[in-house]
Chain A
């Protein structure tokens, strides 16, 4: 072509920029901090390979459990104004078949230098340990322990992520079952997230993924029915971002392990916000809707540009929300709201 497009010029200029995006996550090297979140395209080696080629820094496979599961019937995943709502229901081929899937995936990812994160769930503590031990045969680089799926309460009861005791018991059982680094995935809708984070770290978690989806309900006005067959689902996408930032900031102030900040990240600015809140890496999932797997390469490119334009590194932006203000002055205290003096002097009769 005689003339380059703006995009091509921008891409060229980007190639000249040198910003190191590599991240060390529990001793595992990620080429960039963008992690494919669990549950998105993690069903097939071919799809995970495609996401890695598109520019992801790590790939999380779909969570697998002790036995094959079909999951919930449709509708099981829909888009709405500000994100997605899904209740796939942990559909998976079972841990034994998952091993073959993970082995095939790892063989495709290894030449790209992109680590593989396996993800597991179970309905009791021993089940977590057994699934972890089975999956270990595939030698994933890291293991995500999904104790926070919001869509199986009718079968499994309250998620293990809901209390310190159950979250800690699962973490300890998995820790004892495998040698690889383990990431515990926490839920946002709990009473004391900081204490739960501390409990899983004390039980041996090497990292925390924050957060899983937030329970939600969509109702169809015409029929009066829940849109999802499971009635409720997990909210992800843009609507989840402030919840995820809140959780990451809270956890980063409570524990020292790396956090994979996940929830509503769609752009390089979103990534910077998540790193600023204290994340070491950033999950991307729902943003694949619309942009496709290419979202990883696009966000990585924009992240390089954002950092380079400001002469910043990943380390510079990480944890900025935790740092003290830089002004010597203190802000003027906010004024106490005053009642209307005329009304205080002449009370109006109360209408009944």
Chain B
């Protein structure tokens, strides 16, 4: 664990658009990491930010252009370099053989790898993917293609069921309880899912987002409920 963890350059092997704001970046390298872990991506001279791994072989990230750093990333082309530090953090750990995965907004990214892991073991994998509107839905086709059941919700009803992921989760927790619930998305969504799963008595693993600096559990920037999201998390278990 005390190996040197300095940024190393990776070359962009492919980029593809996932939706209007989100692009997948595929690099020419693999990484020894598990679903839910993250890496710090660095553009020398600009900034360094944490991103959940979309895939480990090859290393891939699904990243929305929401600020200066991600906009700069979106301007890169195949052959350009991005520096990576990591992987960091505690991953999701599959428990039982009937999994409910819930992704809100850009939070879907780390769940595809988890879905594939569960499906490869012959487990049942159900996924709820939500967004504000159809154009912001992420990885719906890829998750279906992987073989998972996918329910879609949008707040404006432009795709799937009108409403929020918690509406579908509430029904599935009541009618057809999974062994474990896994989720990644906005903090409000995670807090609601924690309450839902807690009431239903279903164990849960939630991936929380935070501003991160060191990524290695020493600076304290990412504190959340007494935990360090970079080291104890980003996935915190309960239930």
- The number of residue pairs between A and B whose CB atoms lie closer than 8 Å in the complex comes to 100
Q: Which of B27-44 contact A (CB under 8 A)?
A: 40, 42, 44
**Minimum C-beta distance from B160 to chain A (A):** 36
**Minimum C-beta distance from B57 to chain A (A):** 22
| Alpha-carbon separation in the docked complex, A225 to B218 (Å) | 24
Among A22-30, A168-176, A288-296, the one that faces the other chain is A288-296
Summarize A's interface: helix, strand, loop or mixed: loop
A220 at the interface (CB under 8 A from B): yes
**Minimum C-beta distance from B169 to chain A (A):** 29
Residues of A within 8 A of B213 (CB): 74, 76-77, 88
Q: Looking at the complex, which one of B45, B47, B219 makes contact with A77 (CB distance below 8 Å)? A: B219
Residues of B within 8 A of A73 (CB): 47-48
**Minimum C-beta distance from B39 to chain A (A):** 13
| Alpha-carbon separation in the docked complex, A42 to B221 (Å) | 10
A166 at the interface (CB under 8 A from B): no
Which residue on chain A has the smallest CB distance to residue B215?
A77
Do A86 and B214 touch (CB < 8 A)? Answer: yes
Do B220 and A286 touch (CB < 8 A)? Answer: no
Residues of A within 8 A of B7 (CB): 75, 78, 220, 227
Do B217 and A292 touch (CB < 8 A)? Answer: yes
Do A47 and B6 touch (CB < 8 A)? Answer: no
Chain A 20-56 near chain B by CB (<8 Å), digits 1 or 0: 0000000000000000000111111011011000000
Residues of A within 8 A of B221 (CB): 43, 91
Chain B: interface residue total (CB-CB under 8 A): 31
| Alpha-carbon separation in the docked complex, A132 to B207 (Å) | 39
Q: Looking at the complex, which one of A86, A218, A223 makes contact with B9 (CB distance below 8 Å)? A: A223
Among B58-66, B142-150, B222-230, the one that faces the other chain is B222-230
**Minimum C-beta distance from B133 to chain A (A):** 31
A84 at the interface (CB under 8 A from B): yes
Do A223 and B218 touch (CB < 8 A)? Answer: no
Best-surrounded residue of A49, A80, A223, A285 (most CB of chain B within 10 A): A223
Do B2 and A289 touch (CB < 8 A)? Answer: yes
A133 at the interface (CB under 8 A from B): no
Residues of A within 8 A of B220 (CB): 40-44, 47, 62
**Minimum C-beta distance from B232 to chain A (A):** 9
Can you report 26 residue pairs joining A to B where beta carbons are below 8 Å apart?
A41-B219, A41-B228, A43-B220, A44-B223, A46-B223, A46-B226, A74-B49, A74-B213, A75-B7, A75-B85, A78-B5, A78-B214, A79-B5, A88-B219, A218-B6, A220-B6, A220-B44, A220-B83, A223-B44, A225-B44, A225-B45, A285-B218, A289-B2, A289-B217, A289-B218, A290-B1
State the B residues within 8 Å of A (CB): 1-2, 4-7, 9, 40, 42, 44-45, 47-49, 81, 83, 85, 212-214, 216-221, 223, 225-226, 228, 231
